Structure 1
Amino acid sequence: MTVHVFIGPTLSAADVLAVADRAATDRAVVHRPVRHGDLLALDTGAADTVLIIDGVFHQTAPVRHKEIIDVLARRTRVIGASSMGALRAAELWPYGMEGVGLVFGMYAQGELDSDEEVAVGHLPSGEHRQLTVPLVNVRWTISNAVAGKALAPDDGATLLNAARTLHYTERSWAAIVHTTRRLHPAAAEAAIRLREFAERHPDLSDLKRRDALLALSHCSTPRAAASFPGFTPAWMVPRTMYLDRWRGTYRPAVRDRRTAAVSELDVLRFQQLYAPDFPQRYRRFALTRIAGIPSASTDDGDGRLVRAALEAADQRGISARTLPRSAWSYWLTPWEQREGGPEDRLSTLLVRSFRSAPGAVPFHDAPAELRGTDEAWVASADAVAAADRLNEQMARTGERRSPRHLPLPLVRRHLADTWRVEEPAALTAVARDRGFISLGEAEDAARRFVLLRRARGDRRPEAPAC
């Protein structure tokens, strides 16, 4: 029963809380301007609302459409207005996002088509104080000034053209006056009158704020069922591997203060490296996916699962008869090629070569089958958080003191000690048995934890068996 509000320069946190109190809405939580990953980190359901007002797009990646659709697919109400929210609502209303206000309407009807209309320069933190004037506010101010007989229609068109020549990071009322004097001297007095009109009538010169306040009030109204032609429920939109990857990257692994910055994929990577039973978990995960069955029975070990996977592979033309010698030498160690039965060799090859899609990785988010027990998951999250704290402390001691600067031989020795193998071929085999595409990928993941091991007296930072 929470309303998550993403704001920045358009409204302050005090504005949001004041409207929420007057409307007696559910609990309001104020967030920074929305950016890529913020929505995926929320734990929302059908009773919650997300209101997007402001968002970033220049300094960092903006919120993606798929992220909003993912929230909609949870049956969470999503409303957009004023700025980034109006842009996304104009693009996503066919999937259930609600748009509020004039800015949304102008985008939805095609009267506006540029992101620059709502872009402003602002301070990067705090309340993100606005430093410039968005073009859509200039339009609205001119319209109101003309309607109030404070400005002639022809002068209004001239002033709008002058404002358009300014980059959004430079557009202010003073800059509009200066630019008009330079480009259209005859309209210089009109520019001064427009600036004075904006100063005297803030309620008639800030359309973005007006729409944002309207959207806040709209949060307390009942959600209307979409009944227009062409509506596509968000839950019908296919998920992509990019969305899965984003979900794993930005969703907190454990929702507590100690590990707030640790994501699900962070914890899964740690368990890939250090959990003793992860190869067994991953083997069952891969064989189940290859066999195309919903779940695997453990009553008879993995014999039945192996046979189902081999049959599925054979139907796709992959068998001991069809595979070239180069495939065996690539995926198996020399010892594995000599020892074991045909089924063991082929099932090992299938597990190590498994991909969720051609050319993709074995998994994009953190599948439930790979997580292990809750206790081990929390312990692993604590270990990741501890490693990050140590790495941050080490980085402050000087240049080239971060995990990425660790010598490769040191990282490889760390893995050799952890996995208790020495030969490069065996290291590669173990990495693949743990779901890594290559030994290099495992080494990149391990860099994050090498310093933690050394700080703990050269003990292995193991994840509990799950």
Structure 2
Amino acid sequence: MSAVVFVGPTLASQSVGEILQAEILPPVRQGDVYRVARETPRAIGIIDGFFEGVPSVWHKEILWAMEQGIPVFGSASMGALRAAELADFGMIGVGRIFEDYHAGVLQDDDEVAVLHSPAELGFQPLSEPMVSIRATVARALEAGMISPGLAEAILHAGKALQYRERDWPRVLSMLAQDHDLTVFSDWLPEGKVDAKRDDACEMLRRMATYLESGAEAQEAPTRVERTLAWQGLIRRIDSETAGNRSAAQDLLDELRLDPARFVELRERAMLGVLAQEDAARRGLRADRDTLVAQMDRHRSQVGLAQRRDVLHWLDANDLDEAGYEDFLSGAALSDEIRSLRVDRLEPHMLSALRWADEYSGLKARAEAKKTALQVAENREFSGQDRLRLLIWYFEDHLGQPVPDDLDLHAQSLGLADREEFCTLVAREFLYSQGGGDAAEAPDA
């Protein structure tokens, strides 16, 4: 494990990958730093973390990671808060927000807190952090876009809002009517500052430099006191991990009783590992739109129409929302790598057919179909006939519904679009009906 970065609403995974090659994890919560530190990564970076709803990351687990010789960087959000508190113990804080917390200029947690979307939608920020409002006002004041009085009014309005409700439209709506906001409002879309993003990128560059040179100065690590609370945390996490491993082994033992299925899934898993490694080398990351498309595809395939269905499926499959995002991301990256390697897959697929002793049978069928369809090769079907053919193929032949996105289905089979796929289905129908011109499209 090279490096680990905990990030969520502050920065998209793709943006992280453009600066630093690292394992990207969701916003940090209690126990997460201890979990990853056991794997001895070369560095840990904390950008985002949970402030409420779940226990926040402990100071002691960060100290324990540093005790193991792992440098821990912090910036932008939860990372800046913890770095300010632990800078004297060796945690490496980066950026203006960290500096302001460390100097006591900032003290409230709500300065960096934001409302964000759930994991399956990529932790998209839905409110504006107060630190960004402060940085934007400072830039506008320096550029002459606002007066000192208006600057003070904007900051007062922003701070008066609860962090979940804090955004620019609400802030501006709270200002007195005598303020002239026209110039500032026109300047705001291009001029506003994303202070957390700027600091997070600076931290990632600092981590990249460290990983390349190993030159980051380290304080002598402080030994964590093994208090009862600390021992309780590590016992819980260690037993949780052991329990998960035991449950996984029990499940795999059941799978081993079906040897053919076990071998099939093991081969698929191996290809998944290789695809993930290839994606990491290429710096590929699944962006929000890709994750949403992958989620829609999975929900349609498994039949998860409502959110409660998704939550039930997650519980049944031992996943939380962060794990579900990882699951979707892995599938998306495998699809991406497959599309990049498509021109190199055919020889290996033919080899797989030979190994399964299915090559000669499919070859004979392909040759027979080609001979049988010579007369009907240019047969055309109307749009209505094509629909009937698709219903015949999917519902009657495969016993499944027609996919909502035929182009996506075609591409998953290595075809260019739905036209190529419909031609494939039409040829199969004609062949199954005897291959002649007299074959009629099936009834819907």
Deviation at 1:200, TM superposition (A): 1.2
Deviations along 1:17-66, one digit per CA (max 9) or x if unpaired, are: 1112xxxxxx4111111111211221556661110001111121111111
Name the counterpart of 2:199.
Answer: 211
d(CA) in 2 for partners of 1:12 and 1:129? 8
Q: How does 1:100-249 map to 2 (within 5 A)?
A: 100-125=94-119, 126-181=121-176, 185-186=177-178, 188-190=179-181, 193-202=183-192, 205-220=193-208, 221=210, 222-226=214-218, 233-234=221-222, 236-249=223-236
Deviations along 1:406-460, one digit per CA (max 9) or x if unpaired, are: xxxxxxxxxxxxxxxxxxxxxxxxxxxxxxxxxxxxxxxxxxxxxxxxxxxxxxx
Deviates more, 1:98-107 or 1:72-81: 72-81
CA RMSD of aligned residues (A): 2.9
Answer whether contact 1:80 1:100 (CA < 8 A) is retained.
yes
d(CA) in 1 for partners of 2:241 and 2:152? 51
Change (3 A) 1:40 1:382: farther
Deviations along 1:372-422, one digit per CA (max 9) or x if unpaired, are: xxxxx9679989xxxxxxxxxxxx9xxxxx9xxxxxxxxxxxxxxxxxxxx
Change (3 A) 1:249 1:67: same
Deviation at 1:237, TM superposition (A): 2.6
Change (3 A) 1:265 1:244: farther
Deviations along 1:88-112, one digit per CA (max 9) or x if unpaired, are: 0000112211000000000000000
Deviates more, 1:70-79 or 1:129-138: 70-79
Deviations along 1:309-364, one digit per CA (max 9) or x if unpaired, are: xxxxxxxxxxxxxxxxxxxxxxxxxxxxxxxxxxxxxxxxxxxxxxxxxxxxxxxx
Answer whether contact 2:4 2:41 (CA < 8 A) is retained.
no
Change (3 A) 1:226 1:200: same
2:5 paired with 1:10:
no
Answer whether contact 2:48 2:79 (CA < 8 A) is retained.
yes
The one-letter code sitting in structure 2 at the alignment partner of 1:150 is M
Change (3 A) 1:129 1:379: closer
d(CA) in 2 for partners of 1:195 and 1:240? 53
Change (3 A) 1:266 1:241: farther
Which structure shows the higher helix fraction? 2
SS at match of 1:62: coil
Name the counterpart of 1:305.
Answer: none
The one-letter code sitting in structure 1 at the alignment partner of 2:13 is A
d(CA) in 2 for partners of 1:35 and 1:246? 13
d(CA) in 2 for partners of 1:242 and 1:381? 35
Change (3 A) 1:382 1:162: farther
> TM-score, with normalisation over the residues of structure 1?
0.50
Change (3 A) 1:149 1:76: same
Name the counterpart of 1:51.
Answer: 45
> TM-score, with normalisation over the residues of structure 2?
0.52
Question: Could you list the runs of 4 or more consecutive aligned residues of structure 1 that deviate by over 4 angstroms after TM superposition?
Answer: 43-47, 265-268, 377-383
Matched residue pairs, number?
A: 252
The one-letter code sitting in structure 1 at the alignment partner of 2:203 is A
Unaligned 5+ segments in structure 1 are 21-26, 254-261, 271-376, 384-395, 397-401, 403-466
Q: How does 1:194-343 map to 2 (within 5 A)?
A: 194-202=184-192, 205-220=193-208, 221=210, 222-226=214-218, 233-234=221-222, 236-251=223-238, 262-264=240-242
Identity of aligned residues (%): 31
Answer whether contact 2:3 2:41 (CA < 8 A) is retained.
no
Unaligned 5+ segments in structure 2 are 255-308, 310-314, 316-444
Answer whether contact 1:52 1:79 (CA < 8 A) is retained.
yes
Answer whether contact 2:73 2:83 (CA < 8 A) is retained.
yes
SS at match of 2:156: helix
